[in-house]
Amino acid sequence: MFVALLCLSIGIAFVGYLCNALYKHLFPHPTAPNTWVKGPEHLQHCTQDLRIEAPRMIKTLPTDYQWIKQLVASDGSEYFRISVKGNYTQLPIEQCNNGEVVVKAYDRNAQEYLVYDGFKHGWDSLISGDYEWVTPHLQFEHTLRDAKQHEQFKIYLSCTYTPAAFDELEDGIDEYGNVIIGGKYRQRSFKYDKVFADGFSSITIWAENPKGKVITLLSKQCATCMLTQ
C-alpha cells in the first residue's frame, strides 16, 4: 500500500512538472530573456544572426535582453556604404554629441536601409514625448570613411532592453492592443509590439571594413529618463 501511494505521488509530481514545463514553453513570461527581444521593427526584415567570422568583440557580448544582429541586403550582400546625417565631430557618436543623428546604409544596388533614426527610435524618442512623425531635415550629411579611405563596411547592431520599463506600460493598453502615450494635449498611440521593438534603452552600431578592422560608429543611451528616476 505504501509503495503504491509513493509511486502515485511520484507520478503526479512528474505529470505536474511536465505540464508546468509545457506551459512555460507555450506562454513564456514577457520578461524572460530572449523570448520577446525581436529587435527594432524596421530592421527585422534586413538582419541576420552573426556568422562565425563576425568580430569576437561582438560575438562575446551578453545576450540577456539584448538583440545582436548583422545588417544584410535584400540580395544577400553584406557590405554597405554608410551615410550619417547630423552634427557630430568624432566617432563614436555618443550621448554627449549635440543633436540627433540618422544613420542610413546603401547596398551595391543603391537600395537604402534606415539603420537608426534618433528622432524615432529608442525609449526617449518613442515613450518620453520627443517622437517626431517626420524626421527634421538635417543639414550635414557625411559618408563614412575610415583611416584607409574604405567606404564599404559590414554593419553590426546591438540593442538592449529594460523589461521592467515595459511592465509599467501594461496598464495603458487599450482594447485594440495599443499603448496611449503622452499628456493631455499631445497623445500618441502605438501598437504594443512596436513599443516592445523600438523602445530599446541603448544601441551600438559597429562598422567592419574589408580588412576586418572594426569601428564603433554609434554608442548611445536611449533611455536617459530611466537613469534619472
Predicted pLDDT of residue 57? 82
28: pLDDT strictly greater than 50: no
Between 209 and 227, residue with greater pLDDT: 209
222: pLDDT strictly greater than 80: yes
In whole angstroms, what is the distance from residue 166 CA to residue 159 CA? 15
Q: Write out the three cell numbers for 211.
A: 580588412
Q: Write out the three cell numbers for 29.
A: 513570461
31-61 exposure pattern, b = at least 16 Cβ within 10 A, e = fewer: eeeeebbebbebbeebbeeeeeebeeebeee
Give me the mean pLDDT over the 96-115 stretch. Answer: 85
In whole angstroms, what is the distance from residue 42 CA to residue 39 CA? 9
- Mean pLDDT in the chain? 77
What does pTM read for this prediction? 0.75
